[in-house]
Amino acid sequence: MSGVMCDLAIIGGGLSGGLIALAARRAQPERRILIIEAAPALGGAHLWSFIDSDIGPEEKALLQPLVNFGWRDFAVVFPNYKRALPFPFYSLRSDRFDEALREAMPAESILTGRRATGVSADGVILEDGTMISAHGVVDARGPGDLSLLDLHYRKFVGYELTLNGPHSVRRATLIDAAADPAEGFQYMAMLPIENDRLFIEDVRYEAWPDLDMTDHGNRIVNHAARFGWRIRSSARGQAGILPIALGGDFADYWNSGGVGVAKVGLRAGLFHPVTGNSLADAARTALMIATAQDWSGAALHGMLQEHAAKCWAQRDYYRRFARRMLRDMEPAQGYTVLQSLYAMDADLIARFHGMRLGWADRLALSMGEGPMPVSAMFRG
């Protein structure tokens, strides 16, 4: 058994943990940071995307070097209309994420292929018996006990496809719900990468957390066929089952990830209740930690618990929005809520994604056939 000392130990080298390491190394290069990841690489197998308006300039400066692809705007397509929204859209791939972290950090700061088996506010025990003593620990190991939350799921499978010839797609498509709404609440997303290469993802919202890979794969092939494309090869698949929060008790969930231990990412409940996305939150918490002077376990826990609890409370509107869209409506009707949302003013849509909707926005959304009737806005 051996011992290691550091200022900050980050457990989990996924999106949140990796961004903390990057931001903290940049802000306080003199302090010793360790990032401990069970898998051989940092970041897993992901293509993470975000809308420019989801983040501020500081978060953008952190994410910019990691970005693989960018588009000037993005489209949404529904049975009733299609439109382009004038916000840049970016994607980052986890292999670039791993590479950037290894460039930025001293090699001895990154422990991959090492699983933590015990985590406290100021120490970590690894599977091989190594004990790490840290001024402070941040737990970024992904979800806590999700069974404590009232959940729906956003499930998706996507592939990077090389076609037999060029396609003419120029902008990213966030949602294409034009085909077969009767089959349930599902849509396609599409990111053009090169003239003959694009990423297509089949997305569906359902109440149960399992994936039918064959079904998703068939839908992707059918989607390509709709455009008359022939697929030459496919690569870089990704699949996800994201929690969509309809309700739940924040304190119980927080503690399920370790009492008294600082947490970030899914483990801290920091995700968009309707989309399940967490990249903007991950960038924000990374900067909070990086610029904090006190990295003691207690100080980090206090700061992050307060932040996450506040976010959870502020996001109640979005949980009710998700409940209305996913529980109060038939699955085949769910997409109509999005259809109404994406017909609204572009800046309001940006604020919806960035979870910055004000009262006037909520009122606008509640009018007429909008996603949330006034009566539902005030219900607990």
Ligand X SMILES: Cc1cc2nc3c(=O)[nH]c(=O)nc-3n(C[C@H](O)[C@H](O)[C@H](O)COP(=O)(O)OP(=O)(O)OC[C@H]3O[C@@H](n4cnc5c(N)ncnc54)[C@H](O)[C@@H]3O)c2cc1C
Query: Site residues (CB under 6 A) for ligand X?
Result: 11-17, 36-39, 44, 46, 48-50, 115-116, 140-142, 238, 240, 242, 265-267, 276-279, 282
CB 51, min distance to ligand X, A: 9
Both tokens assigned to 227: 């455009």
Q: What are phi and psi of 316, to 5 degrees?
A: -60, -40
Q: How far is the CB of 325 from ligand X (least distance, A)?
A: 18
Bridge partner residues of 156 (DSSP): 203, 240
Closest CA to 41 of 143, 113, 116, 115: 113
Write out the DSSP string of 173-190: EEEE--S-GGG-SEEEEE
* Tokens linked to 310: 């506040």
The token pair at 25 is 């190394």
* Comparison of 112 and 333: residue with beta carbon closer to ligand X: 112
Q: How far is the CB of 36 from ligand X (least distance, A)?
A: 5
Which lies closer to ligand X via its Cβ, residue 282 or residue 325? 282
Q: For residues 24, 275, 148 and 257, what is the CA-based torsion angle, rounded to 10 degrees? A: -10
- In the bound complex, what is the minimum distance in angstroms from residue 41's beta carbon to ligand X? 9
> Within 10 A of 206 (CB to CB), how many other CB atoms are there?
20
Nearest residue (CB) to ligand X, 45 versus 332: 45
Least separation, in Å, of the C-beta of 130 and ligand X?
12
Q: How far is the CB of 365 from ligand X (least distance, A)?
A: 22
Question: What angle separates helix 15-27 from helix 279-291, to the nearest 10 degrees?
Answer: 30
- Indicate the residue among 181 and 261 with the shorter CB distance to ligand X: 261
| DSSP secondary structure, 267-282, as one string | GGT-S-TTT---HHHH
Pairing of strands 131-139, 262-263: parallel
Q: Shortest distance, CB of residue 242 to ligand X, whole angstroms?
A: 5
The residue among 278 and 336 lying less far from ligand X, judged by its C-beta, is 278
Give, for 239, the enclosing helix (H) or strand (E). Answer: strand 231-248
**Direct distance between the N- and C-terminal alpha carbons of the chain, in angstroms, rounded to an integer:** 52
Query: Which CB sits closer to ligand X, 86 or 113?
Result: 113
308 or 348: whose CB is closer to ligand X?
A: 308
User: C-beta of 1: minimal distance to ligand X in Å?
Assistant: 18
Cβ 378 to ligand X shortest distance, Å: 29
Among 155, 185, 189, residue whose Cα is nearest residue 173: 189
Q: How far is the CB of 158 from ligand X (least distance, A)?
A: 8
Which of 14, 297 has the CB closer to ligand X? Answer: 14
CA separation for the pair 160, 237 (Å, rounded): 7
- How many other C-beta atoms are found inside a 10 Å radius of the C-beta of residue 74? 22
Of 142 and 373, nearer to ligand X (C-beta) is 142
The CA-atom distances, in angstroms, between 364 and each of 75, 314, 374 are 22, 19, 10
With respect to ligand X, which residue has the nearer C-beta, 181 or 355? 355
- Element housing 226 (H / E): helix 213-226
Phi–psi pair at 191, nearest 5 degrees:
-125, 110
